[in-house]
Amino acid sequence: MNNPLHFITLSNALTAVEALATVAFALSGLVLAARKQLDAVGVCVVAGLAAFGGGTLRDILLDRRPFFWVAHAGWLWALLVMCLGAMLFMRKHHVALTQRAMQWPDAIGLGLFTASGTQIALEAGSPAFVAVLMGMMTAVFGGVLRDIVCNEIPSAFHDHQPYAVCAFVGGWVLVGSHLMGWPQWLSLLLGAGVATALRALAMLLQLRLPSWQNSLH
Amino acid sequence: MNNPLHFITLSNALTAVEALATVAFALSGLVLAARKQLDAVGVCVVAGLAAFGGGTLRDILLDRRPFFWVAHAGWLWALLVMCLGAMLFMRKHHVALTQRAMQWPDAIGLGLFTASGTQIALEAGSPAFVAVLMGMMTAVFGGVLRDIVCNEIPSAFHDHQPYAVCAFVGGWVLVGSHLMGWPQWLSLLLGAGVATALRALAMLLQLRLPSWQNSLH
Amino acid sequence: MNNPLHFITLSNALTAVEALATVAFALSGLVLAARKQLDAVGVCVVAGLAAFGGGTLRDILLDRRPFFWVAHAGWLWALLVMCLGAMLFMRKHHVALTQRAMQWPDAIGLGLFTASGTQIALEAGSPAFVAVLMGMMTAVFGGVLRDIVCNEIPSAFHDHQPYAVCAFVGGWVLVGSHLMGWPQWLSLLLGAGVATALRALAMLLQLRLPSWQNSLH
- The shortest C-alpha distance from C161 to chain B (Å) reads 9
Reported as a pLDDT band with limits 50, 70 and 90, residue A164 is very high
What pLDDT shows up at residue C9? 65
Phi-psi region of C153 (alpha: psi -120 to 50; beta: other; left: phi over 0): beta
- The answer to whether A149 faces chain B, any CB pair under 8 Å, is yes
Element (H, E) at C4: helix C4-35
Task: Report DSSP letters for B109-124, one per residue.
Answer: HHHHHHHHHHHHHHHT
Q: What is the 3-state secondary structure (H, E, C) of B155-185?
A: HHHCCCCCCHHHHHHHHHHHHHHHHCCCCHH
Q: Using a CB-CB distance cutoff of 8 angstroms, which residues of chain B are in contact with residue A53?
A: none
Q: Output phi, psi for A132, to 5 deg.
A: -65, -40
> By percentage, how much of chain A surpasses pLDDT 90?
75
Q: Taking residues A151-165, report their average pLDDT.
A: 95
Do C210 and B87 lie within an 8 Å CB cutoff? yes
Angle at alpha carbon of residue B151, lines to B149 and B156, rounded to 5°: 80
What mean pLDDT is predicted for residues A7-15? Answer: 67
Candidates B208, B216, B217, partner chain A, best to mutate (most A CBs within 10 A): B216
- Quick check: C149 and A153 CB within 8 A? yes
Between A13 and A145, name the one with better pLDDT. A145
CA-to-CA distance for A41 and C123, rounded, in angstroms? Answer: 41
Confidence at C130, pLDDT banded by 50, 70, 90: very high
Query: Is residue C99 exposed (0-12), middle (13-18) or buried (19+ Cβ within 10 Å)?
Result: middle
Q: Which one of C37, C70, C151 has the shortest CB-CB distance to A130?
A: C70
Q: How many CB atoms lie within 10 A of CB A165?
A: 21
Count the neighbouring beta carbons within 10 Å of the beta carbon of residue B60.
15
Q: CB pairs below 8 Å between B and C: how many?
A: 80
Predicted pLDDT at A142:
96
pLDDT at A204 over 60: yes
Q: Do C41 and A157 touch (CB under 8 A)?
A: yes
Say whether pLDDT at A56 is over 70.
yes
Residue A62 has pLDDT above 60, yes or no: yes
Whether residue B34 and residue C216 make contact (CB cut-off 8 A), yes or no, is yes
pLDDT tens string, chain B, 217 residues long: the values are 445 555 556 677 667 778 888 999 999 999 999 889 999 999 999 999 999 999 999 999 999 999 999 999 999 999 999 999 998 888 777 888 888 888 889 999 999 999 999 999 999 999 999 999 999 999 999 999 999 999 999 999 999 999 999 999 999 999 999 999 999 999 999 999 999 999 999 999 999 987 776 555 4
Chain A residues in contact with B158 (beta carbon < 8 A) = 36-39, 42
User: What pLDDT score was predicted for residue A213?
Assistant: 62
- Of C54, C13, C19, the C-alpha closest to C147 is C54
Q: How many residues does chain C have?
A: 217
Lowest mean pLDDT among A35-39, A77-81, B149-153, B173-177: A35-39
**Cβ neighbours around B71 below 10 Å, total:** 12
Q: What is the pLDDT of residue C7?
A: 55
Chain B residues in contact with C215 by the CB 8 A cut-off are 92
> Cα–Cα distances in Å, from B89 out to B38, B102, C216?
16, 18, 12
CB–CB contact B126 A70 (8 Å):
yes
Sort out which chain A residues have CB atoms less than 8 A from C154's CB and list them.
none
Q: Is residue B101 classed as helix, strand or coil in its secondary structure?
A: helix
Q: What is the DSSP string of A179-216?
A: HTT--HHHHHHHHHHHHHHHHHHHHHTT------SS--
Secondary structure (H, E, C), C100-168: HHHHHHHHHHHHHHHHHHHHHHHHCCCCHHHHHHHHHHHHHHHHHHHHHHCCCCCHHHCCCCCCHHHHH
Residues in chain A within 8 Å Cβ distance of C63: 63
Return the residue in B30, B38, B56, B95 with the most chain C beta carbons within 10 A, the one to mutate for interface testing: B38
Task: Spell out which residues of chain C touch residue B51, defining contact as CB-CB under 8 Å.
Answer: none
Q: Which of residues 82-141 of B touch A (CB under 8 A)?
A: 126-130, 133
The number of CA neighbours under 13 Å toward the Cβ of C159 is 16
C20: pLDDT strictly greater than 90: no
- Spatial contact of B188 and B174, defined as CB atoms under 8 Å apart: yes
One-letter amino acid of A80: L
Q: Is the pLDDT of residue A70 over 70?
A: yes
Distance, CA of C167 to CA of C121 (rounded, Å): 14
A62 to chain B: closest CA residue: B63
Residue type, B79: L
* Residue B39 CB-half CA count within 13 A: 17
**pLDDT score of C111 more than 70:** yes
pLDDT of residue A1 exceeding 50, the answer is no
The residue in chain B having the minimum alpha-carbon distance to the alpha carbon of residue C211 is B39
CA-to-CA distance for C71 and B170, rounded, in angstroms? 44
Contact of C106 with C85, CB cutoff 8 Å: no
Confidence of residue A5 (pLDDT cuts 50, 70, 90): low
Q: Locate the chain A residue with the closest alpha carbon to C93.
A: A216
Mutate to test the interface with C, among B31, B38, B41, B88 (most CBs of C within 10 A): B41
Q: What is the pLDDT of residue C8?
A: 58
Closest chain B CA to residue C216: B92
Q: If DSSP states are collapsed to H, E and C, what string results for C14-35?
A: HHHHHHHHHHHHHHHHHHHHHH
Q: Is the pLDDT of residue A75 over 90?
A: yes
ipTM value, please give it: 0.91
Peptide bond into B66 cis (omega under 30): yes
> Cα separation of C205 and C199, whole Å?
10
In chain A, residues with a C-beta closer than 8 Å to the C-beta of B61 are 56, 60, 67
* Contact present, C154 and B42 (Cβ < 8 Å): yes
Q: What are phi and psi of A2, to 5 degrees?
A: -70, -25
pLDDT in tens, C51-77: 999 999 999 999 999 999 999 999 999
Q: Which of A138, A159, A148, A122 is nearest to A18 (CA)?
A: A138
CA C97, CA B71: separation in Å to the nearest integer? Answer: 45
pLDDT given at position B89 = 85
Q: Choose between B118 and C7: higher pLDDT.
A: B118
